Structure 1
Amino acid sequence: MRHPEHQYLDLLAQVLDHGDERLDRTGVGTRSIFGAMLRFDLSDGSAPILTTKRVYWKTAVREMLWFLTGGTNIQPLLRENVRIWSDWPLAAYRRETGEAISQEKFEKRIVEDDAFATRWGELGPVYGKQWRRWLGADGREHDQIGDLVQTLRENPTSRRMLFHGWNVAELGTMALPPCHMVYQYHVTSDGRLNCLLFQRSVDLLLGAAFNFVGATALQLMLAQQAGLRPGELVWVGGDVHLYLNHLDQAREQLAREPGPFPRMKLLRHAASIDDYRIKDFEVEGYAPHAAIKADVAV
């Protein structure tokens, strides 16, 4: 049987060799294709944590746990040594103040100075806000995750089990509009929980690997909360791209042969979807190739 990671590597090669080269919002430029699908079977405990480069899976899970809190400030992330969201508020700080502060000093101030964090660490109404506190036209807040858990438990044959973050009214105040924007769930007659994740915009070298891990962690948590077993993760990409400063790194990754996917499991049954911590996750058998460094386009 062909290794499931080859789906990702084939997509990487397709974008690299046949992508439409064009300018993009960041000014870096991309090679891009439109429309892709990958499928990963989680039912045997395996997790799509890429092996052709090291993926820092704890960072991806910590990010997902932060989303579930409904938080929109990077201070809690930085206190967990998660730095993947720093670029956007740092760019805003430099632009608005004219101060050429280093990323290290900026992050240190966010961690240590609550007032500074309140002013400069805020990302606007990004993922967690929309997932847990979507503001309706009637002024009421809607907890999409809480509603999803309830429906999974009480009406698992529903075709309306989804949540999304594309709140048109608030896009303009977000540091970055949601890329992984719709998660839809499906329960089979034998109790397996499937997920389809639609991602409108995909940084294929850097972002996709984290999105696979985050979606897997969420699927495990939701399955446990609803008394189900993990099934299939179906990932759908809209604008799937490689930045032009990532092409050599993509070639390096394509030269590597994937190893067995590791296994991810939960070590305890949490009391609620809000009760999970990073220590509840265990990954076994992860033996990847070395990490591949690349710059984030902001």
Structure 2
Amino acid sequence: MATAAIPSDSSAARHYEQQYLDLMRHIWERGSERVDRTGIGTRSVFGAMLRFDLSDGRMPLITTKRVYWKTATREMLWFLTGETNIRPLVLQGVKIWNEWPHANYVRETGEDISLEEFVQRIADDEAFAIRWGDLGPVYGKQWVDWPTYRYRKDGTYEKGEGINQVAEVVESLRNNPGSRRHIIEGWNVAELDRMALPPCHKTYQFHVGDGKLNCALYQRSCDVALGLPFNLWSGALLQRMIAQQVDLEPGEFVWMGGDTHLYINHEELVTEQLKREPSGEPRLEILRRPDSIFDYTIEDFAVHDYAPQAPLKAPVAV
């Protein structure tokens, strides 16, 4: 079976996280086994949807394992700077992008250097980081500086001013809330081959109804065990930040997955997590309102009532 349509249950007795666990179980038990880009292999379904109510500070923060929400938040703030080099993340202790430039370095130089040694060089040597730490025009670059070109009469062209999609969405939500064009897009076909990893969480669309800001996130490819808990938090976080900036209450966060998969070598994690029961209802408090969507810092966020179970680890497929 290759298609997933996991129903949402709004019953008060049903924990919001149960739909995530249902999706995980459905993929593991009924997903199609496929050979993937990494060579590891996956069990995969196509087309899945999860829905979360963000009212009263609620967030889709997974409780059946610890999710390092500050790490995910630092990544989101990094996206909003338009930065594409891992060094600012490395200096904050954020490790989630390290494997890609390390693999590229080893491939191009042939040097037998461990990931830890490579990351330390990124931190210690700015020139080395400039040369080897860049990921290409990934997420943040497309979000805040989508490239444009001006064509000349002689058939040549020059680069124009980049488009800040995030700023434009904030303005359109303020001035034209009924629009159906509140979209942030990361899938720039012309630049995919320059990216360390083409965007997985690729399209965000915002919708205003009954004084609330809703968000739908479409993800073309999703690692359910390792990636999705971060993606759920990050997407809802962006929605909460934008809602604050445009004076709207957060409404529903809708996540949609294309190729939604579990890696075969994540069996131990999946088996253990599916034994656990979700509990609690963590809430996010945004402690101040900055002047713009680009001025938030990690100190602006506090999570209350989050008591997750022990972390679960599995290898990252590169």
Tell me, in whole angstroms, the C-alpha distance in 2 between the residues paired with 1:59 and 1:143: 24
1:50–1:261 CA contact under 8 A, matched in 2: no
1:78-111 CA distances to partner (integer Å, 9 max, x unpaired)?
1111010000000000111111111111111111
Normalised TM-score (structure 1) = 0.98
Tell me, in whole angstroms, the C-alpha distance in 1 between the residues paired with 2:194 and 2:36: 20
What is the aligned counterpart of 1:18 among 14, 19, 30?
30
2:196 is equivalent to residue 175 of structure 1? yes
2:315 is equivalent to residue 295 of structure 1? yes
Match of 1:92 in 2: 104
Structure 1 position 261, deviation (Å): 2.5
Tell me, in whole angstroms, the C-alpha distance in 1 between the residues paired with 2:30 and 2:250: 35
1:107-157 CA distances to partner (integer Å, 9 max, x unpaired)?
111111111000000000000000000012433310000100101111111
The AA in structure 2 aligned to 1:15 is I
Structure 1 position 264, deviation (Å): 0.5
Between Structure 1 and Structure 2, how many residues are aligned? 297
The AA in structure 2 aligned to 1:259 is S
1:212-258 CA distances to partner (integer Å, 9 max, x unpaired)?
11111111110111011111100000000000101221111000000
The AA in structure 1 aligned to 2:120 is K
2:278 is equivalent to residue 266 of structure 1? no
The AA in structure 1 aligned to 2:191 is E
The AA in structure 2 aligned to 1:14 is H
Structure 1's unaligned 5+ residue stretches are: none
SS of the counterpart of 1:135?
coil
The AA in structure 2 aligned to 1:251 is T
The AA in structure 1 aligned to 2:129 is A
Tell me, in whole angstroms, the C-alpha distance in 1 between the residues paired with 2:307 and 2:268: 23
Tell me, in whole angstroms, the C-alpha distance in 2 between the residues paired with 1:186 and 1:236: 15
The AA in structure 1 aligned to 2:171 is Q
The AA in structure 2 aligned to 1:61 is T
SS of the counterpart of 2:57?
coil
Match of 1:154 in 2: 175
Pairs within 5 Å for 1:102-117: 102-117=114-129
Larger radius of gyration: 2
What is the aligned counterpart of 1:215 among 195, 217, 235?
235
Tell me, in whole angstroms, the C-alpha distance in 2 between the residues paired with 1:235 and 1:260: 21
Indicate the RMSD between aligned Cα atoms, in angstroms. Answer: 0.7
Tell me, in whole angstroms, the C-alpha distance in 2 between the residues paired with 1:157 and 1:4: 29
Tell me, in whole angstroms, the C-alpha distance in 2 between the residues paired with 1:199 and 1:163: 13
Fraction of identical pairs, as percent: 60
Tell me, in whole angstroms, the C-alpha distance in 1 between the residues paired with 2:57 and 2:255: 18
Pairs within 5 Å for 1:118-197: 118-138=130-150, 139-189=160-210, 191-197=211-217
The structure with higher relative contact order (CA 8 Å, sep 6+) is: 1
The AA in structure 2 aligned to 1:161 is H
Match of 1:73 in 2: 85
The AA in structure 2 aligned to 1:40 is F
Match of 1:200 in 2: 220
Normalised TM-score (structure 2) = 0.92
What is the aligned counterpart of 1:49 among 61, 77, 80?
61
Farther-moved stretch of structure 1 (87-96 vs 137-146) = 137-146
